[in-house]
A and B are shown apart, each in its own frame.
Chain A
Amino acid sequence: MGMLLEIKNLSTHFNTDLGVIKAVDRVDLAIDEGDTLGVVGESGCGKTVLALSIMRLIPSPPGKIVSGSVFFKGVDLLKIDSAEMRMIRGKDISMVFQEPMTSLNPVLRVGDQITEIIKLHLGLGRKEAMDRAMEMLSLVGMPSPETVIRNYPHQMSGGMRQRVMIAMALCCGPKLMLADEPTTALDVTIQAQILELIGKLKQDIGTSVILITHDLGVIAEAAEHVAVMYTGQIVEYASVENLFSKPLHPYTVGLMESIPKIDAPWGRDAYLKVIPGAVPSLHNLPQGCTFQGRCAHTMQICREEEPQLKEYMPRHRVHCWLFGKK
């Protein structure tokens, strides 16, 4: 398995009235061919900005990728010109957004929206593009593609629209699909179907997936490797098995403990463990480790110096002073 995407020292900053925000702060990350990488974190931790940075879709101004590189099959996506990027976007790397309600064009038929990409990237004619669109729709489990392509988005349910989004993302056979909270707006039963679909398509087509979510349950079900983000940084990276069996970073441990589990004790006195406080504002992050105010293990060094993302065990990296000094 070769490496498909390698992100090195990526930082994306936003200029605001209150100063510069480091939405993505020196991120190093790699994804292998055929792998599913889960990126998990709470709102505002930089997951979506990370995805948009890979796609080079950061609104600028106010945003700017200030440093780093994103190597995709050996090419640095941040160095190529925008015309070349357009040929990669939607073809080799595609994206599925969170809101299936707002990310489809309401005044175009579904078929036209899918064929637009196929015609552009694969250079097929109208007829062939339609055939390809129908093929993709049946691949994602649409019951009758020939009627669906004539439908407008409002005629479909949320789950159906998300299938259309996935069909669009996959119609040019991408090497990498970025799925940003693809199931968050959906009901649990539909969520289970969509996750199953993503897993199945990954096997059939061999697409790698970056799955962005706030839901550790979704990560456990669908990902192979996981990166936990906090205030724009990756604080832990591990295989999904290691992350769930041996979480290292106090933030990861706290997140796991604060979720009510379907098989945990319950009742009047079953309180959840909580992470005290809230995520600090990105406008004024503390010096040193950004998790210090909420961490039960804060030491002197945490207030003074920022930890580095260090390999603790093979393929298990953690951004915390508890696991080894410099």
Chain B
Amino acid sequence: MTMVLVDIQGIKKYYNARAGFIAKERASVKAVDMVSLQIYSGETLGLVGESGCGKSTLARLIIRLDLPTEGRILFEGEDISKLAGKDLKAYRKKVQIIFQDPYASLNPRRTAGSTIGEPLLINHVYDREGRSLEVARIMDLVGLTSEQKDRYPHEFSGGQRQRIGIARAIILKPQLIVADEPVSALDVSIQAQILNLLKDLQKEFNLTYIFISHDLSVVRHVSDRIAVMHFGKIVELADNRELYEHPLHPYTMELLSAVPTSDPGRKKQHLIREAEATSGTDGSGRCPFYPRCPARFEICEKDKPGLIDRGGRHYVACHAQG
């Protein structure tokens, strides 16, 4: 668990947004703003944050669906933004994604077998017969039956569709899987089945996961380490137990306090403070959490804090911890 598989070095992704209808000045939305992160081979890194915090943008950058505005991402030591042609195709074999919505991410006119087998076809891995055998094997592995290969997506339930999405992602035996909210669209009883399947597959293929979710209970269940994102930045990064037992950033504490517990006797005190939503286009130099922070002081309004090492693989971006 010590080899660095993905090394994200100071990446930024800005999107241009026009400030007004006719206005000339352009404001940029800092979807991902100076993120540095190492992902170790074989681990599950959980990425949590609320909608709009940049989790999915970061995922798109890692699988190279988008190129960063600044910074670079090294995969096994190689800068992925420089890849092209054959090398890029080879990279795509090693890195796969599982999408959130199993209804929207499958082509409705393709059979399950053809969707699952397409990566093999594109990469010329097997001949026709070999492909069909491999598709059957993988379908079996993810809990589908090979008789279902000629069915279309609408004939499957949500959980089964997500299994198709997972089968398609693992068929090329990738090293890294980015799972972008893989269970958010599923019912609770199905969610548990998919989470268990992901764990089994990780053992079987020694997969590395980047597991993106807004659900802190789910992230806690699957992750070895967890990164908390807020307005394009990682504000806290720590081992699973450490983060839940000793959260340092006020935003992490707020998130944890907001998770409903399944214990009606313990109606808890939420830490959430009301505040106007600040947008990612905020040009000021203050800490993005400043308007909501209960622990803010003078320097927080002038200076954005960077990640500081608090020891024991625990990092936090907060002046109060500096």
Contact = CB atoms under 8 A, between A and B. Distances in A.
A275 B189 contact: yes
B244 A262 contact: yes
Interface string B233-263: 0000000110010000000001111111111
A273 interface: yes
Nearest to A191: B258
A279 to B, nearest CB: 8
Contact of B188 (A42, A262, A263): A42
Interface string A200-241: 000000000000001111111101000000000000000011
Interface in A236-270: 240-241, 244, 254-256, 258-264, 266, 268, 270
B105 interface: no
A184 B260 CA distance: 13
Given A187-B214, A262-B216, A271-B196, A192 B265 contact: no
A258 B192 contact: yes
Interface in B22-57: 50-51
Nearest to A159: B277
Contact of B195 (A220, A260, A268): A260
B214 A42 contact: no
Interface residues of A, number: 47
B58 interface: no
Contacts of A284: none
Contacts of B193: 274
A199 B256 CA distance: 20
Given A217-B262, A272-B195, A278-B190, A189 B254 contact: yes
B5 to A, nearest CB: 18
Interface stretch (B9-17, B131-139, B266-274, B298-306): B266-274
**Could you tell me the dominant secondary structure of chain B's interface residues?**
helix
B18 interface: no
A188 interface: yes
Contacts of B158: 43
The number of chain B residues touching the other chain, given as a range, is 35 or more
Contact of A42 (B189, B262, B274): B189
B221 A270 contact: yes
A195 B259 CA distance: 12
B264 A272 contact: no
A241 B64 CA distance: 49
B259 A141 contact: no
A125 interface: no
Interface string B211-232: 0001111101100000000000
A152 to B, nearest CB: 14
A217 B244 CA distance: 18
A220 B189 CA distance: 17
Contact of A217 (B50, B260, B265, B272): B260
Contacts of A240: 264
Given A187-B214, A256-B262, A274 B196 contact: yes
B174 interface: no
A274 B260 CA distance: 21
Contacts of A262: 216-217, 220, 244, 256, 259, 261
Interface in B193-209: 193, 195-196, 199, 203
B127 interface: no
A220 B258 contact: no
A244 B188 contact: no
Given A43-B187, A188-B50, A221 B192 contact: no
13 contacts: A143-B276, A158-B51, A192-B272, A195-B260, A214-B188, A215-B260, A221-B260, A221-B267, A258-B188, A259-B217, A261-B261, A268-B203, A278-B157
Closest 3 CB pairs of A and B: A217-B260, A260-B221, A258-B192
Given A259-B262, A260-B220, A278-B160, 6 more contacts: A143-B274, A189-B254, A260-B218, A261-B217, A272-B221, A278-B157
